[in-house]
Amino acid sequence: MERTVKLRVKVDYSTYSALKEVEKEYREVLEDAINYGLSNKTTSFTRIKAGVYKTEREKHKDLPSHYIYTACEDASERLDSFEKLKKRGRSYTEKPSVRRVTIHLDDHLWKFNLDTISISTKRSRILISPTFPKIFWRYYNTEWRIASEARFRLMKGNVVEFYVIFKRDEPKPYEPKAFIPVDLNENSVSVLINSKPLLLETNTKKITLGYEYRRKAITTGKSTKDREVRRKLKRLRERNKKVDIRRKLAKLIVKEAFESRSAIVLEDLPRRTPEHMIKDVKDKQLRLRIYRSAFSSMKNAIIEKAREFGVPVVLVNPSYTSTVCPIHGANIVYQLDGGDAPRVGVCEKGKEKWHRDVVALYNLARRAGDVSPVPLGSKESHDPPTLSGWLRAKSLHSIMNEHKMIEMKV
Ligand SMILES: [Zn+2]
């Protein structure tokens, strides 16, 4: 597991120029290495290095030789991801284009010290003195360790962005004592904790549609190359907002699971889902964007956080999870026209009412191997507590307790 921390350092002109020289030559090596990989149909670091090292060493006599290694590594990574894009039909160019260069460093090319970081350049080592952001100390003072590789990039105004990489071993997943099923929807995420369902509003679809509306309002009749338009678009920060929601939600769920030694149960979503899940959105691109942020990105955020804490994740088949009664095994009938409560259905056998998301939660838990009894006909089964202000909550437990207090007052 790794995390990258960015340090921004303003340096003097001579330091910047020394790094600029490295950047220029690194880019040349990188381009040659990519071309070699393409014409020899390989993405292998070893093969690329073997192929270009001698000529590059000749061409760049006073560049520290390890830059040739790291540029070959860089080339191999770029070729690799380009291959993957091409396979998915998502590459727009014939070959990977080298636009921005981030220089890769190995343990010979940089030395870390809390006072100064030294970087090898063509003639000597240069020193930069960063001020460390809070996030740096959070990793530095815990079980994370600084990796031997690092990166830097040159920005405008003599600014160097230096990337320190922290590494940590993944904790071993424990044997789960219980299950926390999580059901993802376009506007909410529901969880089931100790047979208590909880619906957390994320409004992903609403947010995406809202941003789309505002984006249209900004760009209609104008070119997206216009500076003013670009500035306005940038200020929308749609991605930031969604990433923030995802991270916080993943953290709440994973912390809850970790503390109760539970496994998280998620739908193993099929690839074609956006078509029927968000069918009221006509625009195909927009539908895909909603699908990505509400389903796949949310799922990945939870899985990634769970891995960090050693929380086991069980992926189960999602078919019919919201249409079969978890008690009677009979069909649950939802009114086609929706009515007042479009997400509430009735079991054909027991006639009890169910909220679609709660049904899904029980069925997900079942499929993961949970055998605890399902409460019959409780109010929560068809009217689960729905929460919108969870973003600043410390834990799911505190949310549930707070909700109980409100219910008692009412
Ligand atoms: Zn039933």
pLDDT > 70? residue 152: yes
The reported pLDDT for the residue numbered 271 is: 57
Instruction: Tell me how far the alpha carbon of residue 359 lies from the centroid of ligand 1, in angstroms.
Output: 10
Maximum distance among all Cα pairs of the chain, rounded to whole angstroms: 82
Tens of pLDDT, residues 25-84: 999 999 999 999 999 999 999 999 999 999 999 999 999 999 999 999 999 999 999 988
Answer whether 126's CB lies under 8 Å from 19's CB.
yes
The pLDDT tens digits of the residues spanning 76-129 come to 999 999 988 888 777 777 788 888 899 999 999 999 999 999 999 998 999 999
**What is this structure's pTM?**
0.73
Q: What's the token pair of residue 157?
A: 């105004």
**Residue 341 alpha carbon to ligand 1 centre in Å:** 18
Residue 376 Cα to ligand 1 midpoint, Å, equals 8
Annotated domain spans of the chain: 2-167, 178-409
pLDDT of residue 410: 57
Residue 331 Cα, ligand 1 centroid: separation in angstroms? Answer: 8
DSSP 296: I
Query: Cα separation of 222 and 236, whole Å?
Result: 17
Q: Calculate how far, in angstroms, residue 345's C-alpha sits from the geometric centre of ligand 1.
A: 10
Q: Which residue has the higher pLDDT, 210 or 401?
A: 210
- Higher-pLDDT residue of 198 and 97 is 198
Query: 332: CA distance to ligand 1 center in Å?
Result: 7
CA 393 to ligand 1 center in whole angstroms:
34
Residue 385's pLDDT is 87
Ligand 1 center to 270 CA (angstroms): 27
Residue 219 has a pLDDT of 84
pLDDT of residue 275: 57
Instruction: Give the confidence band of 274 by pLDDT, cuts at 50, 70, 90.
Output: low
Average pLDDT score over residue span 356-384:
90
CA 295 / ligand 1 centre spacing (Å): 28
- Could you report the per-residue pLDDT of 394-406, keeping only the tens digit for each? 888 888 877 776 7
Q: What is the DSSP letter of 331?
A: B
